[in-house]
C-alpha cells in the first residue's frame, strides 16, 4: 500500500508541475467550477484493516492480513462558493481481510476470512484553494453511513461453526486530500483518504467466554482509499 501511495503522490506532483509550468498556458474548462451542480464518477482502491479493543491485555493480539479491494461510485457536487463544495458520493466497495486468532493449534479454528461488500453513502465537504492555471489542491472530509452486505449479522451460526459475524450498519468519518486537474475535456481529481468507522462492527459469539470474541470489547474498521474522480 505504501508503494501505491508514493506512486500517487509522484503522479500528483507530475500533473501539478505540468499544469502549472507546462508549455501550453491555455486554461482548460474555465467555467467548470461556476456551475451550481456537477456530476461525475470515481474508481479506486482500498486497503481495509480492523482496530480491536480488548477487555483484558492477554499479550497476544488478533492478526489482520489485509489485501487490496476496489471502489466504484457516483458523485453529486453542490457548489457553495469559490472554495467550498458539498459532495454526495454513493458507491460500492469490496474488501477482504483474514483474521488470525491466537491460542489455537488448528488452522481451521485460528483463521477467519472476512469478505465485505459495502454500499456507502458519504456526505462530504470539499475545501479547495484558489485555482492555479489548470490545477487546484483541496482537502476533503465528512461522515458516511454504509450497509455491509456480507455481514452475516442474522446468521444463527457463530465462530464455533466457522462463521464470523459482523453488523450490517456502519457509520464513520473520512478525511483526505487531493488535487483537481483540468484537462481539455474533463476534470480529473485523484485523492488519498483515511476512513475511520465509529460503529462497533462485531457481533459476538453466543458464548460470552468464546475464545474468538470473548475478550473483544470493540472492533472498528480503519482503511485507506485511493480514489480517481472524473467529472
pLDDT band at 148 (very low <50, low <70, confident <90, very high): very high
Sequence-distant (6+) residues with CB within 8 A of 97 are 48, 49, 50, 64, 65, 66, 67, 113, 114, 116
Mean pLDDT of the chain: 89
**Between the CA of residue 2 and those of 5, 7, 68, 82, what are the distances in Å?**
5, 9, 12, 33
Q: Is residue 173 within 8 Å of residue 198, measured between CB atoms?
A: yes
pLDDT tens-digit profile of 43-91?
Answer: 999 999 999 999 988 778 999 999 899 999 999 999 999 899 999 999 9
Cβ burial 173-203 (10 Å sphere, 16+ → b, else e): ebebebbbbbeeeebbbbbbbebebebbbbb
Report the Cα 18 to chain-centroid distance in Å: 28
pLDDT band at 19 (very low <50, low <70, confident <90, very high): very low
Domain boundaries, given as residue ranges, for the chain: 2-230
pLDDT band at 21 (very low <50, low <70, confident <90, very high): very low
- Bridge partners of residue 191, in order along the sequence: 178, 227
**How far is Cα 51 from Cα 219, in angstroms, rounded to an integer?**
6
pLDDT tens-digit profile of 190-199?
Answer: 999 999 999 9
pLDDT band at 7 (very low <50, low <70, confident <90, very high): very low
Give me the pLDDT at residue 57, please. Answer: 84
CATH class of domain segment(s) 2-230? mainly beta
DSSP result, the chain: -HHHHHHHHHHHHHHHHHHHHSS--PPSSTTGGGSSEEEEEEEEEEEEEEEEEESS--S-PPEEEE-EEEEEEEEEEEE-SSSEEEEE--EEEEEEEEEE-TT-S-HHHHEEEEEEEEEEEEEEEEEE---BTTEEEEEEEEEEEEEETT--TT-S--GGGT---B-SEEEEEEEEEEEEEE-SS-EEEEEEEEEEE-S--B---SSTT-TTTTTEEEEEEEEEEEEEEE-
Q: pTM of the entire structure?
A: 0.84
Amino acid at each position: 500500500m505504501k508503494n501505491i501511495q508514493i506512486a500517487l503522490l509522484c503522479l500528483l506532483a507530475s500533473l501539478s508541475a505540468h499544469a502549472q509550468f507546462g508549455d501550453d498556458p491555455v486554461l482548460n474548462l474555465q467555467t467548470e467550477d461556476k456551475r451550481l451542480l456537477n456530476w461525475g464518477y470515481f474508481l479506486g482502491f482500498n486497503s481495509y484493516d480492523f482496530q480491536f479493543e480488548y477487555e483484558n491485555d492477554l499479550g497476544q493480539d488478533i492478526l489482520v492480513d489485509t489485501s487490496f479491494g476496489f471502489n466504484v461510485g457516483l458523485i453529486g457536487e453542490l457548489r457553495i462558493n469559490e472554495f467550498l463544495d458539498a459532495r454526495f458520493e454513493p458507491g460500492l466497495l469490496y474488501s477482504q481481510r483474514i483474521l488470525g486468532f491466537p491460542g489455537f493449534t488448528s488452522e481451521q479454528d485460528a483463521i477467519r476470512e472476512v469478505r465485505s461488500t459495502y454500499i456507502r453513502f458519504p456526505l462530504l465537504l470539499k475545501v479547495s484553494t484558489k485555482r492555479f492555471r489548470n490545477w487546484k489542491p483541496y482537502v476533503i472530509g465528512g461522515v458516511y453511513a454504509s450497509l455491509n452486505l456480507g455481514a452475516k449479522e442474522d446468521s444463527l451460526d457463530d465462530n464455533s461453526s466457522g462463521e464470523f459475524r459482523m453488523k450490517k450498519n456502519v457509520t464513520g468519518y473520512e478525511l483526505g486530500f487531493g488535487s483537481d486537474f483540468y484537462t481539455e475535456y474533463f476534470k480529473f481529481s485523484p485523492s488519498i483518504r483515511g476512513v475511520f468507522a465509529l460503529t462497533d462492527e462485531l457481533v459476538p459469539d453466543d458464548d460470552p467466554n468464546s475464545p474468538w470474541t470473548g475478550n473483544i470489547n470493540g472492533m472498528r474498521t480503519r482503511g485507506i482509499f485511493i480514489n480517481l474522480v472524473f467529472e
